[in-house]
Amino acid sequence: MGSEHLHITLIQPDIVWEDKTANLAQYETTIAGITGPKHVVVLPEMFSTGFSMAPERLAEPMDGHSVRWMADMAVKYRCILTGSLIIEDDGKYYNRMLWVQPNGEIGIYDKRHLFAYGSEDQHYTPGERRTIAQVNGWRINLQVCYDLRFPVWARNTGDDYDVLLYVANWPEQRSLAWKTLLQARAIENQSYVVGVNRIGTDAKNNNYTGDSSVFGPLGELLWQQTNAPACHTVTLEKEVLQKVRTTLPFLNDADKFLLL
47-65 per-position pLDDT tens digit: 999 999 999 999 999 999 9
Judged against a pLDDT cut of 70, whether residue 20 lies above it is answered with yes
> pLDDT tens digits, residue range 229-255?
999 999 999 999 999 999 999 999 988
The whole-angstrom separation of Cα 251 and Cα 258 is 15
53 in a domain, yes or no? yes
- Give me the pLDDT at residue 49, please: 98
Sign of the Cα pseudo-torsion (18, 24, 27, 29, in order): negative
Which residues span the domain enclosing 99? 5-253
Judged against a pLDDT cut of 80, whether residue 256 lies above it is answered with no
Judged against a pLDDT cut of 60, whether residue 1 lies above it is answered with no
CA proximity to 34, closest of 69, 5, 7, 68: 7
Mapped to the 3 state alphabet, what secondary structure does 12-63 carry?
ECECCCCCHHHHHHHHHHHHHCCCCCCCEEECCCCCCCCCCCCHHHHCECCC
259 in a domain, yes or no? no
- Give me the pLDDT at residue 188, please: 97
Judged against a pLDDT cut of 90, whether residue 76 lies above it is answered with yes
- What is the arithmetic mean of pLDDT over 126-149? 97
Q: Say if residues 147 and 158 touch (Cβ distance below 8 Å).
A: no
Q: Within 10 Å of residue 214's Cβ, how many Cβ atoms? A: 24
247 in a domain, yes or no? yes
Distance, first Cα to last Cα, the chain: 31
Give pTM, 2 decimals: 0.97
The CATH number of residue 98's host domain is: 3.60.110.10
The whole-angstrom separation of Cα 95 and Cα 156 is 23
- What is the domain count for the chain? 1
Q: Is 145 a catalytic residue?
A: yes
CA proximity to 146, closest of 183, 121, 122, 163: 121
| Opening angle at CA 102, ends 98 and 103, nearest 5 | 105
- Give me the pLDDT at residue 3, please: 81
Tell me the pLDDT of the chain averaged across its residues. Answer: 96
209 in a domain, yes or no? yes
212 in a domain, yes or no? yes
Query: Which listed residue (18, 60, 79, 111) is catalytic?
Result: 111
- Give me the pLDDT at residue 260, please: 58
109 in a domain, yes or no? yes
Query: Which listed residue (45, 60, 79, 179) is catalytic?
Result: 45
- Give me the pLDDT at residue 158, please: 77
230 in a domain, yes or no? yes
> pLDDT tens digits, residue range 82-115?
999 999 999 999 999 999 999 999 999 999 999 9
Q: Where are the beta strands (DSSP E) in the chain?
A: 5-12, 40-42, 80-89, 92-100, 106-110, 131-135, 138-144, 163-167, 192-196, 199-201, 207-215, 221-226, 230-237
The whole-angstrom separation of Cα 9 and Cα 232 is 5
Tell me which amino acid residue 85 is: L
- Give me the pLDDT at residue 259, please: 61
Q: Which residues pair with 215 in a beta bridge?
A: 193, 221
> pLDDT tens digits, residue range 210-229?
999 999 999 999 999 999 99
Judged against a pLDDT cut of 70, whether residue 117 lies above it is answered with yes
Q: Is 111 a catalytic residue?
A: yes
258 in a domain, yes or no? no
